[in-house]
Amino acid sequence: MSAQRSVVVIPTYDEANNILRLVEEIHAVVPDMDILVVDDNSPDGTGKLVEELAERDKRVRLMSRPGKLGLGTAYVQGFSDCLEKGYSIICQMDCDFSHQPHYLGDFLREIEDVDLVLGSRYARGGRTEDWSIKRKALSIGGNMYARMILSVPFRDLTGGFKCFRREVLEAIDLSSVTAEGYAFQMEMTFRAYSQGFRIMEIPIIFPDRTLGQSKLSGGIFWESLAMPWRLRMKKR
């Protein structure tokens, strides 16, 4: 096992139209990167596709859960598994091409010098594409809100395209992270920052998903409004 083995964790729920092409594009960018798909028994058969692929391609693994248990726990279980398997570099991304695989090259380059790299839609040079005014306003407003309450220098706290050195995930007690959705992303970044890890943002362009359905619900929105306050209190 080389010292710098890297893996990307991809949670999936009904991504049969995206997953195989995503894996192919990731390996076109970083041929030696392993991929762990955490699938929640997707009704559209995403898990089956990954299972078949994993038989042919040793870089791909499936973690299969019995039902839709949420994004946060999918990441927690996926990360724990990657730590156990000894990876040094652990990335995370969505399966809908809003997170474009070509950025993985940038993440892996930058993680040489820092502990956590954040893909940032709101850093200079980054942006979202094809979003409604309402969605833009919610996301930009939500990030400004969280940044002010938490007093952190990051422009994108809710994004889910990231790359961790294993030491960061080891230092965060993953079993105590219970947030889902955007709040999960916020909590992980804030906890890493509070522990003094070096974090940098790299700009990403974030197109809207073209295939498949969005899965985030209203509850996720309220959770992310409360999270900055919860994290701030806890820190005190």
What does the binding site for Mg ion look like in residue numbers (CB under 5 A)? Answer: 94, 96, 98, 209
According to the binding rule CB under 6 A, does residue 12 interact with ligand GTP? yes
Candidates 28, 137, 211, 216; binder of ligand GTP (CB under 6 A) is 216
According to the binding rule CB under 6 A, does residue 70 interact with ligand GTP? yes
Q: Residue 236 CB, nearest distance to ligand GTP (Å)? A: 30
Q: Residue 71 CB, nearest distance to ligand GTP (Å)? A: 5
Q: Which two tokens stand for residue 71?
A: 């994004």
According to the binding rule CB under 6 A, does residue 95 interact with ligand GTP? yes
Candidates 9, 16, 30, 94; binder of ligand GTP (CB under 6 A) is 94
At 59, which amino acid appears?
A: R
According to the binding rule CB under 6 A, does residue 206 interact with ligand GTP? no
Q: Residue 98 CB, nearest distance to Mg ion (Å)? A: 4
Q: ∠ at Cα 172 (167, 176), nearest 5°?
A: 155
E-assigned strand segments in the chain: 6-12, 34-39, 60-64, 89-92, 116-120, 127-129, 162-165, 199-203, 205-207
DSSP conformational letter for 205: E
Residue number, 77 or 158, with CB nearest to Mg ion: 158
Residue 54 three-state SS: helix
Tell me the three-class secondary structure of 24-37, residue by residue: HHHHHHCCCCEEEE
For CA atoms 131, 132, 136, 138, the dihedral sign is negative
For residue 73, what is the enclosing H or E element? helix 71-84
According to the binding rule CB under 6 A, does residue 11 interact with ligand GTP? yes
227, 180 Cβ separation under 8 angstroms? no
Candidates 34, 96, 187, 201; binder of ligand GTP (CB under 6 A) is 96
Residue number, 17 or 88, with CB nearest to ligand GTP: 17
Residue nearest to ligand GTP (CB): 214
According to the binding rule CB under 6 A, does residue 187 interact with ligand GTP? no
100, 177 Cβ separation under 8 angstroms? no
Task: By CB under 6 A, name the binding residues for ligand GTP.
Answer: 11-13, 15, 38-40, 68-71, 74, 94-96, 98, 209, 214-216
